[in-house]
Every structure is written in C-alpha cells, then in structure tokens.
Amino acid sequence: MNEHRVVITGLGAVTPLGIGAEESFSSLLNGVNGISRVTHFDPTDYRSKLAAEVTDFDPENWIDRKSASRMDRFTHFAIAASAMAMEDSGLKSFDANRAGVVIGSGIGGAQTLHEGYTTLFEKGPGSLSSILVSRMLVNMAACMASIRFGFKGPLSAPSVACSTGSNAIGDAFRILQRGDADIMLAGSAEACISPLPYGCFCATRSMTTNPSPENASKPFDKKRDGFVMGEGSGIVVLETLEHALKRDARIYAEMAGYGNTADAYHLTAPEPESNGMIRVMIAALKDAGLTKRDVGYINAHGTSTKLNDKCECAAINSVFGEYSSSLKVSSVKSMIGHLMAAAGAVEFITTVLSVFTGKVPPTINYSEPDPDCDLDFVTSGAETVDLQAAISNSFGFGGGNCTLAVKKYRE
C-alpha cells in the first residue's frame, strides 16, 4: 500500500542547451537546436559525425579542483546538477539518515575508460592510476553526491540503458512512498561522446548519418534516419508531502505514478506489437490514479529512429484510444539529441516544468508526416496548455520500459 504522497521540490540540469533546469527549459520552449559536429574527438572516420555536446561547462564552479580530478565527466555533470537541485529546493537542515540518493548511468566513466586503455596499451599496467577506479564506476555519481551532501539513507545506482534516469526517479519515488526516507536526490548522468561508445552506436546503425546539424534529429518525421548522441544530467529533489509542507517548500508538482516493464524480446529493437510500451503506460496511469482523460501531454521517448517512433505512437494510440488525438505530444530529443541514460531524467524535469508552467516544448525539424506516427505533435513552437497531468516515456536497449506520471499539485 502506497502511504505517502511525493512531491518535486528541486530541479537541476546540465544539458546541451544550458547549465540549469530553467535555462534548458527556456531554450527548449524556444526551439533552440543544441546539435553540432562532434568536437570531443575527430569524427572523420565515423559513420555518424554529429552530437549534442554540453558546452561552457566548468566543473570547478561546483567542485574543488582536487575532487574534480578524481571524477569522470559524467560525475561532474551529476554533482553540478545535484548542487543546483539542492539549491533550488531550499533544503538547509534535514535528518541525514532519512535522506537518500538514486543516481544512475548507462556507460559510466567512458572518457576514463578510454584514457585507461590508451595508457594500458601504450605504457603497460604499471602506469595505471588508482584514481581510475573512482572515476570509471557507474555508481560513482551516486556515491559522490551522497558524500557531497551528507545523505546517509538509501543509496543505489541503476543502469537500464536509455530508461535509467526514469527508473532512478521511479525507484526513489517508491522509497519515499513506503516511508523509508523523507528526501531523495534522484536522476542520472551520461558523458559517452567518446570514441569507443560513439563508434559502437555507429556500428548498430541506429544513429543518424545526416550531415546537417540543423535538422538531423527529427522524431516522428517520415524521413528520420536515427538518433543523435547527447550528454548531460538531470537531478531532482523528491520529498514526502509531509516533509515538504513542514518546511514550507515550493512545490513544482506531485509525482503521481511509476510504471516499469520489460519487452523480453530483443537486445536493441522494441517489441513489434508495442506490448511492453502499452503495459508500462497503463501501469503508470493506474499507479497514479489517473484516467486517460486526465493526461494532457506526453513527453515522448521519440528517438528519431524508425522502429521506436512507430512503436511508441502505436502504443499511445492503444492506451488512449480515441482520446489520443486530443493529447499534446513532443520529443525534446529533436533539440538536445538522445542523452542516453540521462535522457529520462532531463525529460522528466521538462515534463514537471510543463505541468508547473502550462507550457509544452515543441518537436523541431518535423516537416513530413509519417502515416505510422499520427498523433498531435507540437511542431509550430511551444504551446500553452492547462495541464492537470502529464506522462514521460523512456524506452531502453534491452527492452526496458519506464513511464513516470506527474500531476499538478493540489493541497
């Protein structure tokens, strides 16, 4: 039995469109494109050559130099986003034993692994540094955040490919619901625009070969040909309603429901009949106590790949039936690319802010409708909608599906 209501009181983000949740959301509403040619390494010999990179980011704005040197870039992102979320929440004093962290990643220390293998092959094992361990492990973002903020409650670091961020937030939600904590710092981080992971995803032929950054990511468009890899982090502060009210916190929205299913079908492709996607949305709505008519907006996973977009649209039509034509749907991956494990967390923050402000970001680069994708996509700029509830979808390689439901907070 779910006993405690859970609310969102703090938001932090590092994305290709800005440092901070508010800056990123503003750019999304304005349809700003954060995709460009890869600069982290020379992409000349790679099948794809574009990415959505985080720019103008200095980890030392949040982390001292010595500590930063012991962290990989994905942890830098997570700590910065966590610090912004904590500041935004206004949390000053709390019971450390009742405060926990769930921050996941998919690949973890990709840059550290690249540097480590280069040293190993060129100089031998005797030249490896012990610091590499604390930089490469997937759980280091969660651990470093726990240490940084003194959170001594539940600690975990899920890794569920592209649905990681949503799973992390959903898991933290459950911890609070059952009363095992009062406060949870939750989300994900990814920084895998590095030669090996980038090359591996090129090999799967799931990334776009479009040479033009201006319209490379085009979810739901008939001419879409793959996703654009991105990087970043999204972190939220979740609290039980009782705890938030006791300290008179500003509340963005209520975290209402969490669905989690598996396709049990294929390592990379979604199940053709969309059964896992259908079941996960139904589960989240049921968990939230919402009917299909309560939902006004879906922040779609919308990767800009042929199969994912087609299957997600079929699933939405199946779940919402004739009401699906009344839903507003958009994919922010058209602007920030696919942030991989960080995607779900950043997109959840976008969904929360859409419910809070009543403004829905567009899907840019949409020009040619696809008969297989026949929903009401927001494509002509941001729209103002009186949202009572919204959902955010995340679907990952390996068949992991996650849906998070958010509703407007009411006393």
Tell me which residue has tokens 């026949």: 374
Strand partners, 258: 404
d(CA 190, CA 343): 9
- Residue 301 appears among annotated catalytic residues: yes
Half-sphere exposure of 285 (CA within 13 A, CB side): 19
Q: Are strands 232-240 and 6-15 parallel, antiparallel or unpaired?
A: antiparallel
- Catalytic, out of 4, 76, 162, 192: 162
**353-166-389-287 Cα dihedral, nearest 10 degrees:** -150
- Confirm if 124 and 176 have CB atoms less than 8 A apart: no
Half-sphere exposure of 158 (CA within 13 A, CB side): 26
- Residue 373 appears among annotated catalytic residues: no
- Residue 162 appears among annotated catalytic residues: yes
d(CA 342, CA 163): 8
d(CA 406, CA 411): 15
C-beta neighbour count of 402 within 10 angstroms: 30
- Confirm if 348 and 171 have CB atoms less than 8 A apart: no
- Catalytic, out of 243, 301, 313, 402: 301
Closest C-alpha among 236, 226, 192 to residue 392: 236
- Catalytic, out of 313, 338, 373, 402: 338
Known catalytic residues are 162, 301, 338
